[in-house]
């Protein structure tokens, strides 16, 4: 069963890891958000791509919630000593990823091909495709004005309320993304922030392609990142409210209605199931918390089984 999963760097990344663990090698393709990407110290950093890559390689630091396991911080400390910016923390192993990637892109190779070479070096069978090869940068408007995403997310620790979101750059999908969507038999929208993780992916032409697949009878299954009205990590709940949506599984389902054909909500939100079904979505109520590898595989299997059900 050829499966395409859309992911950001936490919830969607965890479900992607679960899908990779339960599907035969080669059946899964992950499309990751690149709106979080940023240049730091002259290097291209791709936080969502790298979270998925480290997870699929078994190298993600689940305790810290980001980055590579067993990190050391020698380079960062050295940069700080020189007076370089130090609020965007990068570990030594992580720096190796950014150095290799940036050097290969500078040689003129496409980002999709370059990151695939990194994934292969880490033994990852699943292609992790950037949503676009051209630079796309998410920006958020706060009461202070427009901010680059990482300024808001890391430097200001998601403190200010977000009033508006925009995606600067060229959102054209790559040939690899087009082929994967065209070949998909199941499409999964992971439990990532619908505004700034899935939002950038859907802001471009990919949305119409996915809609076309759904209309053609391919299941497009979205998993709620909001559980019991809150985000398990990050600002998705506050962002939904400040942008005029409801911070609930139902609120997320409304955002995806017209695109998704099916929706997975957590057991604690079971009372919202009729409202979600009323949007025309097939529903599955299950435990969506992925506490460990077993939890990730369990939810992945539940989603696949649900997708395959008539
Ligand atoms: P980011 O790129 O690091 O901002 O991460 P994502 O956008 O991929 O993920 C953030 C969202 O993941 C939050 O809304 C969380 O509620 C959600 N999330 C994290 N872990 C889980 C989980 O185990 N289950 C579900 N259903 N959602 C989760």
160 CB near ligand 1 (under 6 Å): no
Give the pLDDT confidence score for residue 277 in this predicted structure.
Answer: 98
234 Cβ closer than 6 Å to some ligand 1 atom: yes
Give residue 289 CA to ligand 1 midpoint distance, Å: 10
pLDDT for residue 223 is more than 90: yes
Task: Provide the pLDDT confidence category of residue 163 given band limits of 50, 70 and 90.
Answer: very high
Q: How far is the CA of 149 from the centre of ligand 1 (A)?
A: 17
CA angle at 190 for the pair 188 and 193, rounded to the nearest 5°:
140
Would you list the domain boundaries of the chain?
A: 3-38+125-133+169-307
Instruction: Tell me which residue has its CA closest to atom 21 in ligand 1.
Output: 11
25: three-class secondary structure by DSSP: coil
Q: Is 109 in the pocket of ligand 1 (CB under 6 A)?
A: no
pLDDT of 310 higher than 80: no
pLDDT in tens, 239-276: 999 999 999 999 999 999 999 999 999 999 999 999 99
| Orientation angle between helical segments 92-106 and 74-81, nearest 10 degrees | 80
CATH of span 3-38+125-133+169-307: 3.40.50.10680
For ligand 1, atom 19, the nearest C-alpha belongs to 11
Q: Give the pLDDT of residue 108.
A: 98
The pLDDT tens digits of the residues spanning 196-215 come to: 999 999 999 999 999 999 99
Task: State whether the beta carbon of 227 lies less than 6 angstroms from ligand 1.
Answer: yes
Mean pLDDT, the chain, rounded, equals 97
Beta bridge partners, 32, equal 7, 130
Mean pLDDT of 96-121: 98
- The pLDDT of residue 309 is 81
Interval 9-53: pLDDT, tens: 999 999 999 999 999 999 999 999 999 999 999 999 999 999 999
Residue range 174-178: mean pLDDT, rounded:
98
Q: Which atom of ligand 1 is nearest to the CA of 230?
A: 16
> Exposed, middle or buried by CB within 10 Å (0-12, 13-18, 19+), for 284?
buried
Instruction: State if residue 48 touches ligand 1 by the CB under 6 angstroms criterion.
Output: yes
Alpha-carbon dihedral sign for residues 157, 266, 215, 9: positive
Average pLDDT over residues 280-298: 98
């Amino acid at each position: 069963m050829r499966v395409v999963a859309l992911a950001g760097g936490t919830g969607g990344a965890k479900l992607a890891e679960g899908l990779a663990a339960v599907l035969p090698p080669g059946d899964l393709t992950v499309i990751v958000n690149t709106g979080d990407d940023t240049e730091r110290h002259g290097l291209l950093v791709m936080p969502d791509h790298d979270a998925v890559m480290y997870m699929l390689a078994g190298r993600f630091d689940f305790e810290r919630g980001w980055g590579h396991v067993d990190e050391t911080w020698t380079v960062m400390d050295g940069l700080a000593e020189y007076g370089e910016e130090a609020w965007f923390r990068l570990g030594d192993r992580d720096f190796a990823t950014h150095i290799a990637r940036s050097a290969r892109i500078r040689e003129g190779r496409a980002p999709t091909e370059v990151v695939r070479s990194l994934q292969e070096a880490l033994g990852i069978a699943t292609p992790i495709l950037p949503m676009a090869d051209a630079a796309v940068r998410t920006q958020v408007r706060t009461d202070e004005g427009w901010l680059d995403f990482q300024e808001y997310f890391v430097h200001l620790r998601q403190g200010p309320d977000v009033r508006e979101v925009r995606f600067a750059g060229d959102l054209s999908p790559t040939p690899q993304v087009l082929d994967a969507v065209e070949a998909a038999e199941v499409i999964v929208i992971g439990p990532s922030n619908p505004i700034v993780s899935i939002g950038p992916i859907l802001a471009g032409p990919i949305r119409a392609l996915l809609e076309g697949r759904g209309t053609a009878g391919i299941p497009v299954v979205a998993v709620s990142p909001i559980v019991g009205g809150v985000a398990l990590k990050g600002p998705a709940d506050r962002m939904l409210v400040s942008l005029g949506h409801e911070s609930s599984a139902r609120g997320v389902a409304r955002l995806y209605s017209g695109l998704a054909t099916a929706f997975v909500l957590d057991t604690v939100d079971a009372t919202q199931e009729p409202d979600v079904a009323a949007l025309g979505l097939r529903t599955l109520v299950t435990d969506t918390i992925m506490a460990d590898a077993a939890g990730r595989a369990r939810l992945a299997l539940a989603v696949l089984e649900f997708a395959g059900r008539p």
